[in-house]
């Protein structure tokens, strides 16, 4: 059995380093350590050369380190690597810079140089206010209060009032930010576990939780983070409820927040990237073709920017959401075969980034790739990708688990695999019923699939037309839209009725849409 690449944290860290970072580590050790650290250099080089982490192979390569010593040397190497990275990364982000300045202020305070410490704290506060970093503001004020309480530094009367007022103001801000960020996180977590609301009970439960945990004063807030988490909370609520128009409005507010304070894109690149992803998703769900394309072009420009490539996290998240959007574009335009040309590059990168990607991202990519193969008529390939989802018993996105099985069933139907269709229909129906995921559209689909196998080809056309009429009436129904969001059932049936490829049906819809 192949060793698990991701099992060893030191292996992960070393293999995430760029050439410049590795070179810097060697220089850092030479400057800051003695001969005792020759062992960690030996260990570093040995792990760097391993393709997979295997301790037995590693010990054979090490001359000066025996098995009982290995755990301690690995722990020491890990700490030294982080220390060397901190030296070169301290100017890379505002939060690391503020951390460093606060450390300097504490060092000066401990040396008894109170005035010098206070001078640095003033600069920290100014930077923290300019970049909306309230958590650092709290730390700076706390140290200021400590100095002023324990030492005579200047006139205390106005100083005490000012510090108390600052502390009260920032603590109130943090209270609201904490409540709003908790709300946004819990709603996102609900979606990752369950997907969209399945019924009125789901919707009522989520809405009740939202209203109970939304701070009453939140709509009056003007701070960056208060508004960021407020828009995220409303956005996730709307997305779960499948109110895609509301989802679009709040994801647009989320992105606009960064446009009004563009310097925050570098400070909170992860939130900006996620906001752009959600905005493109909103345009995808609403079939806003032109706005989707405009936002995709804007995000492609961002992908080549310095911020997007500043470090691995930004680069990987940008790759994931940019390529997810590109696949979505081919799905809504019906250009399935062109979309398949992107797959080799995407899969190469998914392999490269395997250590860093969560299973949810891979699950979504597999479903989108399967959808492209289905639309292109390569049903065998579609089934291969869906099996990756079905066989990976992951407790995520129950809705996507259901639709993977439904698409798997339809792909077998298209291949004419009559010998297993009846078994699959029962199996998928049971799975979706157990997950409480059945909508009227899916009920109608199961009925059609069961009937159509016992109907002669001559009588199939009226059956298809009748099925199409039944499901089209649910296109605007909110609790039925999941069926159309994950699997464009209407376009598939229309392609069967018209005897044309599904890609042609979707392209006709695109050409008929108001795209200005």
Residues 6 or more apart whose Cβ sits within 8 Å of residue 301: none
| pLDDT for residue 474 is more than 50 | yes
On the question of pLDDT at 458 being above 90, the answer is no
What would the mean pLDDT of 213-230 be, rounded to a whole number?
A: 92
What is the reported pLDDT for 343?
96
Residue with the larger pLDDT of the pair 252 and 8? 252
CA distance to 342, 365, 416, per residue, from 336 (Å): 10, 15, 22
DSSP class of residue 89 equals H
- CB burial of residue 168 (10 Å; 0-12, 13-18, 19+): exposed
Residue 456's pLDDT is what? 73
In this structure, are residues 479 and 200 in contact, taking their beta carbons and an 8 Å threshold?
yes
Task: Give the integer Cα–Cα distance in Å for 141 and 149.
Answer: 12
Tokens, residue 190: 């609900």
| Contacts with 276 (C-beta within 8 Å, 6 or more apart), sequence order | 255, 295, 298, 299, 302, 321
Q: What is the pLDDT of residues 396-438, one digit of tens each?
A: 677 788 888 888 988 998 898 888 888 888 888 888 787 766 6
pLDDT digits (tens, 9 = 90+) for 115-165: 899 999 999 999 999 999 999 999 999 999 998 888 766 545 677 888 889
89-98, 445-454, 477-486, 494-503: least confidently modelled range: 477-486
Tell me what the pLDDT averaged over the chain comes to.
Answer: 88
* Mean predicted confidence (pLDDT) in 47-61: 90
For residue 57, pLDDT over 60 is answered with: yes
Q: Are the C-beta atoms of residues 407 and 382 closer than 8 Å to each other?
A: yes
Q: Is the pLDDT of residue 514 over 60?
A: yes
**Residue 190: pLDDT above 80?**
yes
**Residue 34 pLDDT:** 61
Percent of the chain with pLDDT over 90: 52
Q: pLDDT tens, 267-308? A: 999 999 999 999 999 999 898 999 999 999 999 999 999 999
Which pLDDT value is given to residue 36? 54
Domains of the chain, with CATH numbers? 5-89 (no CATH), 94-154 (no CATH), 341-516 (1.25.40)
For residue 215, count other CB atoms closer than 10 A to its CB.
Answer: 17
Sign of the alpha-carbon torsion through 236, 492, 319, 365: positive
Residue 456 burial (10 A CB sphere; 0-12, 13-18, 19+): exposed
φ, ψ of residue 197 to 5 degrees: the values are: -60, 130
Reduce the DSSP state of residue 330 to 3 states and report it.
helix
CB 323 within 8 A of CB 300: no
Burial grade of 462 (CB within 10 A; 0-12, 13-18, 19 or more): exposed
Q: Residue 4's pLDDT is what?
A: 43
Yes or no: say if 361 and 321 are a contact pair by the CB < 8 Å rule.
no
**What's the whole-model pTM score?**
0.82
- Is the pLDDT at 222 greater than 80, yes or no? yes
Using only C-alpha atoms, the chain has a radius of gyration, in whole angstroms, of 28
DSSP conformation letters of 261-295: STTHHHHTHHHHHHHHHHHHHHHHHHT-HHHHHHH
* Mean pLDDT, rounded, for 356-363: 86
Helical segments of 18-133, H only: 19-32, 38-49, 55-61, 67-89, 94-110, 114-130
**CB-based burial, 376-410: b 16+ in 10 Å, e otherwise:** bebbebbbebbebbeeeeeebbbbbbbbbbbbbbb
What the block records as the tokens of 315 is 């680069």
Query: Residue 470's pLDDT is what?
Result: 83
């Amino acid at each position: 059995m192949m060793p698990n690449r991701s099992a060893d944290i030191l292996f992960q860290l070393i293999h995430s380093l760029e050439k410049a970072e590795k070179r810097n580590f060697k220089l850092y050790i030479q400057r800051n350590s003695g001969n005792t650290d020759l062992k960690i250099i030996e260990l570093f080089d040995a792990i760097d050369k391993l393709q997979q982490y295997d301790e037995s192979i590693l010990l054979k390569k090490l001359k000066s380190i025996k098995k009982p010593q290995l755990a301690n040397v690995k722990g020491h190497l890990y700490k030294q690597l982080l220390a060397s990275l901190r030296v070169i990364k301290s100017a890379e982000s505002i939060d690391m810079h503020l951390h460093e300045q606060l450390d300097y202020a504490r060092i000066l305070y401990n040396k008894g140089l109170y005035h010098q410490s206070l001078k640095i704290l003033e600069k920290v506060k100014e930077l923290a206010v300019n970049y909306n970093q309230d958590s650092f503001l709290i730390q700076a004020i706390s140290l200021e209060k400590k100095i002023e309480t324990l030492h005579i530094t200047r006139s205390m009367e106005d100083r005490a009032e000012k510090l108390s007022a600052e502390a009260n103001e920032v603590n109130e801000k943090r209270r609201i930010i904490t409540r709003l960020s908790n709300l946004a996180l819990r709603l996102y977590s609900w979606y990752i576990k369950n997907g969209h609301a399945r019924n009125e009970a789901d919707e009522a439960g989520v809405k009740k939780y939202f209203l109970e945990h939304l701070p009453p004063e939140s709509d009056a807030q003007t701070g960056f983070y208060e508004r960021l988490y407020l828009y995220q909370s409303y956005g996730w609520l709307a997305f779960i409820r499948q109110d895609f128009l509301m989802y679009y409005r709040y994801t647009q507010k989320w992105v606009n927040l960064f446009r009004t304070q563009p310097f925050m894109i570098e400070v909170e690149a992860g939130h900006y990237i996620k906001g752009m992803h959600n905005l493109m998703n909103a345009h995808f769900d609403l079939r806003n073709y032109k706005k989707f394309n405009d936002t995709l072009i804007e995000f492609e420009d961002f992908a080549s920017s310095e911020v997007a490539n500043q470090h691995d996290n930004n680069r990987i998240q940008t790759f994931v959401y940019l390529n997810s959007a590109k696949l979505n574009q081919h799905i809504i335009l019906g250009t399935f075969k062109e979309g398949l040309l992107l797959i080799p590059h995407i899969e190469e990168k998914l392999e490269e980034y395997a250590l860093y990607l969560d299973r949810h991202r891979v699950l979504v990519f597999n479903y989108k790739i399967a959808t492209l193969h289905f639309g292109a008529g390569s049903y065998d390939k579609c089934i291969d990708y869906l099996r990756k989802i079905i066989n990976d018993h992951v407790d995520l996105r129950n809705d996507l688990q259901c639709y993977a099985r439904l698409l798997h069933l339809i792909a077998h139907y298209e291949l004419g695999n009559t010998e297993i269709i009846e078994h699959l229909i029962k199996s998928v129906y049971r799975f979706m019923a157990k997950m409480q995921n059945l909508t009227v559209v899916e009920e109608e689909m199961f009925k059609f699939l069961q009937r159509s196998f016992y109907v002669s080809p001559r009588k199939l056309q009226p059956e298809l037309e009748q099925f199409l009429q039944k499901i089209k009436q649910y296109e605007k129904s909110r609790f039925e839209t999941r069926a159309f969001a994950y699997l464009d059932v209407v376009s598939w049936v229309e392609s069967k009725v018209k005897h044309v490829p599904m890609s042609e049906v979707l392209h006709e819809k695109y050409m008929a849409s108001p795209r200005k």
